[in-house]
Chains A and B, each alone.
Chain A
Amino acid sequence: MAAKTRKIGPVEKKLIGVADVVIDAAQRRRDPTLAIPVRSLSNVTFDERKGLIELGRRKQARSFFNVGMAKKFMQTVLVADALCELQRANLTTSLREIYYRTKHTIKNSHENTLDTQDESDPLIEDLEVTLAALREELHVRAENAGSIVGPLVLVDDGDRVDCARLGKGGYSVPSIVEPEYLEIRQCTADFVLLVEKGTQWNRLSEDKFWRTHNCVLLTGNGQPPRGVRRLARRLHDEKKLPVYVLVDNDPWGYYIYSVIKQGSINLAFESQRMAIPKAKFIGLSSADPEAYELPRNVGIKLNDKDTARAKELLGYTWFQKKGWQTEIKRMLSSGLKYELDALANKDFQFLTKKYLPRKLKEKDWLD
């Protein structure tokens, strides 16, 4: 210890704890066991007061001396080792690189430690939950899959980024946006508009919607990645900006909104830092086709999967508000879903010029 000059960080300490579990158990002739919180619908609760999905208390034991779990246990320790290596070298990496880093053939056998990435990904989530460390803290990042544009200034790695001067393309949101990596230096916007699809974000950016309505435009290209969600949350917290969510009118759109608002089931342990309980659903609502006179023929028939998913949503505790029940049921009874793109049927700029201004003016959103 004395030879070491570097200070051991808190995350590193947590990772070394995994090794300690094994060593302690071996000393006491016990089966080395990790207690991993269960990440499934059965172990999440919706806190109505906070408006968050939270992880329950149930944990599953992962023991080494159990034929069914031995391999997973071994893999978990291997992944912990790889993550610790990242901490020590102060590097960040991707899920896939962790997979390659931990893959090798076990000594004296033909067996690989891991066969596919599908095996290592959940282990990283397991460690996140077990060690109560965020993925960003573990130095694992996702692809940069989000964009931002608007009247705000960020500082990334010491570089000043003025998001009002980045043309149509905007700034690509990195996957780690914690304050120590990304500073929000200045923001004069009135609200944040989070758009599901890149197409609509591009439309709004091209039309300088953010300038006319003084807002921040964010997109996550589908289910928004952690970086986008976290950045929206920080803008909400630090700059007190309301967040409006614009998604397709289908069950998957509703779910994207609910993940932004309350957190996801799989990553319920991160709701605390990600969820924006005050986020509003601005559209596309199942009432819009009528209100905005969208012709019936631009709708798409709900398939069996859509219907099943919509019915599932009706059952979630966080969709029990009256407005939401009518919203989803209205979609089910119409039997149609609408994409944001369908607005182009009226006019290419219908979204920028008519739809959003009217929505904002009428405060026509769901909570």
Chain B
Amino acid sequence: MWGICEPTRAPLAKSSRKASPAETAPTAATPKPGVSAVEMGARQREISVSEFFTKNRHLLGFDNPRKALLTCVKEAVDNALDACEEAGILPDIVVKVEAVGNGGPPPPASQASRFRITVTDNGPGIVRQQIPPIFAKLLYGSKFHRLRMSRGQQGIGISAAGMYGQLTTGKPVQIISRTGARSPAHFFEVQIDTKKNEPLILEKKQIDWESPRGTQVTMEVEGRYQKGRASVDEYVEQTIIANPHVKLTYLTPEGETKELPRTYDQVPESPREIKPHPYGIELGMLLKMLQDTKSHWLSGFLAGDFSRVSPHLAEEICKTAGLSPRARPRDVHGQAAENLYKTIQSTKIMAPPTNCLSPIGERAILSGLYQQIKGDFYTAVSRPPAVYRGNPFVIEAGLAYGRGPEQAQEDQQKKAIPLAEGEADQGDDRELARVIRYANRVPLLYQQSACAIFKSVLDTTWRNYGVTQSRGALPAGPMVIFVHMASVWVPFTSESKEAIAEYDEISKEITLALRECGRRLGAFLRRRERAYSEQSRRDIFALYIEEVVESCNRLKGGRLAVAKLKEQLQKMAMKRTGGEKTDEVLGKNGSGPEGLPHSIIVTPDGVEGEVPKMIVDAPAAAAANGNGHPAEEDKDAEESKATAKARGHGKGRRRSAGRAAHGRTTDRRPRSAHRVAKPKTRARRGKG
């Protein structure tokens, strides 16, 4: 590990030499006979978090260059989105990944080993004093101490990414941030002092910056760019599915520009911060809270520092535990504290409040899936909040099925060639479904099989819903399964946040959500099947009459009143298939989203259901059109903020995507800027 950074560590030579492994690993030295306790004691030393993580970077998602590149992008984007949403701003994010040559010209993206990542947002900006610690101090942040739903949780992410860059390329993190049009933009170059876990400021100055507000982070890291599963491209695509309120521009290392327009114009409701629920804490935590509380009485502490504990309930708990409600919290320890803890766990307490959660919402999920994935059927389900270990959470699931009407047409054309023996019927069933997982709106790209979501998908009996599934495998078919878990504390299986742990309560909620999606899919498939068979029933007779009459004519040696026989048979066919009545039935009941809530059905004739409304994105458009007047831009931004707060008042910014299918390709792109490379991003699916 150290070998990697050896040649490039000139700027941080001082700090890293001190942290060389021999010196920093006192426990590694095995005591030989003759070493005295004093000598041993002299070797004991404090380990700083940063030192620990430089040696254990895989814990944070930097195990290999490819994953490291993704993790860096992910941390920066997560931070940007969290900041925008907390400030109530509709996020406009620009992600730029460039290959960097090691001294020479940059090699092609697929061979490069160094990348410069730049993530720019239009968020609230960061005040000058906070910039260095946020980007160059591990475990520094606003999110750890609050029980509130956010993408980041511990305050490790972005500083760890910066530290990784520093370790592998020696380059500092560059930050530009501006809090408003009237404030100046600040430029910083920071590094982390891995020994002290403190930021080192290499440069700071005021600069001119074209954006009126926002933050830009640039870091140079060692990495590898490769498309496909768990790539940066996939991350970007999946992010936009779960965050349709984000406008994202992705400049790929290959020089492409992918514009992913905003399709949902509401900033997610800002989640409230809550106090811990008594069921969710452990004894040690309780002891610490008893020490730290500002309350003077035990009952006051219980009622004040926990959610869902009323003063009345607090007294009851104290009584049951055999403690005085008037006791000083600091005096409760040892056996008494243990009794208190046991009593709390056995007392019936209301479930925690759920306004601390901000689920994506069925409409937004639908909108995201519909935009990014081609299909014939979309549906979304939000479960009511539930609780595991005192932490409230919400499960949401979505599903996109089919290949979309364009593909259907293509298939139609392909079939025009007469099929040879053995060519017939190559069904959809060989392709397996794709599962996309999210925790607090962040896509999870690694360790799929260790995740509660994936296991629940496997455990769902998809065969009940008209989808084939082999034993112990994913369901087969052109299908994307979306599952999101929103919680104040998502139980990840590791620090790198890749898989959700399997709590029974969580698995149960996921399964329920998936079943609901499955039921709707089943209803859709059955309905489509019915319409199809009704249609083919009619076709069968029409087609076969031709053949039968011709054959009969030949059998009779060509001396048959062909037209007459045909007419007689056709008349009978019409009668048999219900005549015009069937026509009506076909037209009316052939398909249609009735009875299928929160679903979209796409057919070659049009789109039905809750088709997402298109937004005319004023500020974004102005920016994209290039250099709008700064003051005007600012006004626009303000306005969008107001819109978000007013919630649901689009002020004429949305317009319908239109019912016609071609609306998907024309109406949906309001401004020219959105047109670049869009079909490509939408076409991603499956194989990945």
Residues of chain A touching chain B, judged by Cβ–Cβ distance below 8 Å, are 4, 15-16, 18-19, 22-23, 26-27, 29, 31-32, 64-65, 67, 70-71, 73-74, 77-78, 80-81, 84-85, 104-113, 115-116
Is A65 in contact with B576, judged by CB distance below 8 angstroms? yes
CB distance B555 to A19 under 8 Å?
Answer: yes
The 8 closest A-B pairs by CB, nearest first: A19-B555, A19-B552, A26-B568, A110-B415, A81-B551, A74-B544, A105-B418, A77-B551
Tell me if B544 and A64 are in contact (CB < 8 A): yes
- Contact between A65 and B554, CB atoms less than 8 A apart: no
Among A23, A80, A106, A110, contact of B416 (Cβ-Cβ < 8 Å): A110
**Which residues of chain B are within 8 angstroms of A104 by Cβ–Cβ distance?**
418
Task: Determine which of B539, B552, B572 lies in contact with A23 in the assembled complex, contact meaning CB atoms within 8 Å.
Answer: B552
A74, B548: Cβ atoms under 8 Å?
yes
Given contacts A70-B544, A74-B547, contact A81 B539 (CB under 8 A): no
The interface bits of chain B over 536-560 (1 if a CB of A lies within 8 angstroms of the residue's CB, else 0) are 0101110110111001101111001
CA gap between A105 and B552 in the complex, in Å: 18
Q: Write the nearest CB–CB distance from B648 to chain A, whole angstroms.
A: 48
Report A-chain residues with C-beta under 8 Å of the C-beta of B552: 19, 22-23, 77, 81
Question: Is B569 an interface residue, CB under 8 A from the partner?
Answer: yes
Report chain A residues within 8 Å CB of B548.
22, 32, 64, 73-74, 77
A115 / chain B contacts, CB cutoff of 8 Å: 419, 421, 424
A23→B560 contact, CB < 8 A: yes
User: Are the C-beta atoms of B543 and A106 separated by less than 8 Å?
Assistant: yes
A19 touches B551 (CB 8 A): yes
Q: Are B543 and A16 in contact (CB under 8 A)?
A: no
Q: How far is the CB of A221 from chain B (nearest CB, A)?
A: 27
Cβ of A70: which chain B residues have Cβ within 8 Å of it?
540-541, 544
Question: Chain A residue with minimal CB distance to B567?
Answer: A26
Measured between beta carbons, the chain A residues less than 8 angstroms from B554 are: 81, 84-85
A80 vs B552: C-alpha distance in the bound complex, in angstroms?
A: 9
Contacts of A67 in B (CB 8 A): 537, 540
A112 partner, pick from B424, B544, B546, B572, beta carbons under 8 A:
B424
Contact B544 A106 (CB under 8 A): yes
The answer to whether the Cβ of B435 comes within 8 Å of any Cβ in the partner chain is no
Is B565 on the interface with A (CB-CB < 8 A)? yes
* Residue contact B555 to A80, C-beta cutoff 8 Å: yes
In contact, B556 and A27 (Cβ under 8 angstroms): no
In the complex the two chains form, what is the Cα distance from A266 to B107 in whole Å? 73
Q: Which residues of B contact A15 (CB under 8 A)?
A: 555
* CB contact under 8 A between A78 and B421, given known A64-B544, A65-B576, A71-B540: no
CA distance A298 to B416 in the complex (A): 58
Q: Which chain B residues lie closer than 8 Å to A106 at the CB level?
A: 543-544, 546-547
**By the criterion CB–CB under 8 Å, are A112 and B565 in contact?**
no
- Between A and B, 26 residue pairs with Cβ closer than 8 Å are A4-B557, A16-B556, A18-B555, A23-B565, A26-B569, A29-B572, A31-B572, A65-B576, A67-B540, A70-B544, A73-B548, A77-B548, A77-B551, A77-B552, A78-B547, A81-B555, A84-B554, A106-B543, A106-B544, A106-B547, A108-B546, A109-B539, A109-B543, A110-B416, A111-B543, A112-B418
Number of interface residues of B (CB under 8 A): 30
Q: Which residue of B lies closest to A100 (CB)?
A: B421
Q: Which of B551, B571, B576 has the most CB of A within 10 A?
A: B551
With CB as the reference atom, state the residue of chain A lying closest to B553.
A19
Across-interface contacts of A65 in B (CB, < 8 A): 541, 572-573, 576
Q: How far is the CB of B410 from chain A (nearest CB, A)?
A: 14
Tell me which of A18, A19, A31, A70 has the highest count of chain B C-beta atoms within 10 A of its own C-beta.
Answer: A19
Q: In chain A, what residue has the closest Cβ to B556?
A: A19
Q: How far is the CA of A22 from the CA of B421 in the complex (A)?
A: 29
B contacts, CB < 8 Å to A: 415-416, 418-419, 421-422, 424, 537, 539-541, 543-544, 546-548, 551-552, 554-557, 560, 565, 568-569, 571-573, 576
State the Cβ distance, B435 to closest chain A Cβ, in Å. Answer: 34
Question: How far in angstroms is the closest Cβ of chain A from B10?
Answer: 69
Rounded to whole angstroms, the CA-CA distance of A15 and B554 in the bound complex is 11
Contact B555 A110 (CB under 8 A): no
CB distance from B477 to the nearest CB of A (A): 22
Query: Across the interface, which residues of A come within 8 angstroms of B556, CB to CB?
Result: 16, 19, 23
Task: Note all chain A residues with C-beta closer than 8 A to B560.
Answer: 19, 23
In angstroms, Cα B285 to Cα A327, docked, is 83
Write the chain B residue with the least CB distance to A112: B419
Contact B418 A110 (CB under 8 A): yes
CB-based nearest B residue for A108: B543
A113 to B546, CA, bound (A): 12
Residue of B415, B543, B573 with highest tally of chain A CB at under 10 A:
B543
A78 cross-chain contacts in B, Cβ below 8 A:
547, 551
Verify B568–A29 contact, CB threshold 8 A: yes
The answer to whether B416 and A107 have CB atoms under 8 Å apart is: no
Which residues in B have their C-beta under 8 angstroms from that of A77?
A: 547-548, 551-552, 555
- Tell me the minimal C-beta distance from B72 to chain A in angstroms: 51
Nearest Cβ in chain A — how far from B560, in angstroms? Answer: 7
Given contact pairs A107-B547, A116-B422, a sample of 13 additional A-B residue pairs in the complex whose CB atoms are under 8 Å apart: A23-B565, A29-B568, A65-B541, A67-B537, A74-B547, A80-B555, A81-B551, A81-B554, A107-B543, A108-B543, A110-B415, A110-B416, A113-B547
User: Measured between alpha carbons, how far is A65 from B571 in the docked complex, in Å?
Assistant: 11
For A81, list chain B residues within 8 Å (CB): 551-552, 554-555
- For the complex, what is the distance from the CA of A146 to the CA of B587, rounded to whole Å? 61
Of the residues B422, B424, B537, B568, contact of A27 by C-beta under 8 Å = B568
A residues in contact with B541, CB < 8 Å: 65, 70
Chain B residue numbers with a CB within 8 Å of A29 are 568, 571-572
Q: Taking the nearest CB of chain B, how far is it from the CB of A15, in angstroms?
A: 7
User: Nearest residue in A to B552 (C-beta to C-beta)?
Assistant: A19
Most buried by A among B419, B569, B576: B569
**What is the bound-complex CA distance between A80 and B550, given in angstroms?**
12
Listed residue (B419, B421, B544, B546) with the most chain A CB atoms within 10 angstroms of its CB? B544
CB distance from B413 to the nearest CB of A (A): 10
Q: Across the interface, do B555 and A84 meet the contact criterion of CB distance under 8 Å?
A: yes
Q: Give the docked Cα–Cα distance between A77 and B548 (Å).
A: 6
Distance (whole angstroms) from the CB of A144 to the closest CB of chain B: 25
- Residues of the B chain whose Cβ atoms lie less than 8 Å from the Cβ of A109: 539, 543
> What's the nearest-Cβ distance from chain B to residue A126, in Å?
15
The interface residues of chain B lying within 8 Å CB-to-CB of A80 are 551, 555
- Given contacts A16-B556, A106-B543, A106-B544, A26 and B565 within 8 Å (CB-CB): yes
Contacts of B421 in A (CB 8 A): 115-116
CA A78 – CA B546 in complex, angstroms? 11
A107 CB contacts on chain B under 8 angstroms: 543, 546-547
Complex Cα distance, B539 from A64, in Å, reads: 13
- Most chain A Cβ neighbours within 10 Å, of B422, B539, B547, B554: B547
The residue on B at minimum CB distance from A15 is B555
Residues of A near B539 (CB, < 8 A) are 109
List the A side residues contacting B415 at CB < 8 Å: 110
CB distance from A337 to the nearest CB of B (A): 36
Q: Which B residues touch A105, using CB under 8 A?
A: 418
Q: In the complex, A22→B571 CA distance in Å?
A: 14
* Complex-state Cα separation, A18 to B551, whole angstroms: 10
Smallest CB separation, A159 vs chain B (Å): 35
- Bound CA–CA A77/B540 (angstroms): 15
The distance from the CB of B273 to the nearest CB of chain A, in whole angstroms, is 61
The distance from the CB of B210 to the nearest CB of chain A, in whole angstroms, is: 57
B357 CB, nearest partner CB in chain A, Å: 51
Tell me, in angstroms, the Cα distance from A84 to B544 when the chains sit together.
20
Taking CB atoms, residues of chain B closer than 8 Å to A23 are: 552, 556, 560, 565
Report the minimal beta-carbon distance from A107 to chain B, rounded to whole angstroms: 5
CA gap between A106 and B422 in the complex, in Å = 18
Q: Do B540 and A22 touch (CB < 8 A)?
A: no
Interface contact A16-B544, CB-CB below 8 Å: no
CB distance from B236 to the nearest CB of A (A): 39
Neighbouring B residues of A108 by C-beta, 8 Å: 543, 546
Q: Which of A4, A22, A85 contacts B565 (CB 8 A)?
A: A22
B residues less than 8 Å from A112 (CB atoms): 418-419, 424
**How close is B586's CB to chain A, nearest CB, in angstroms?**
15
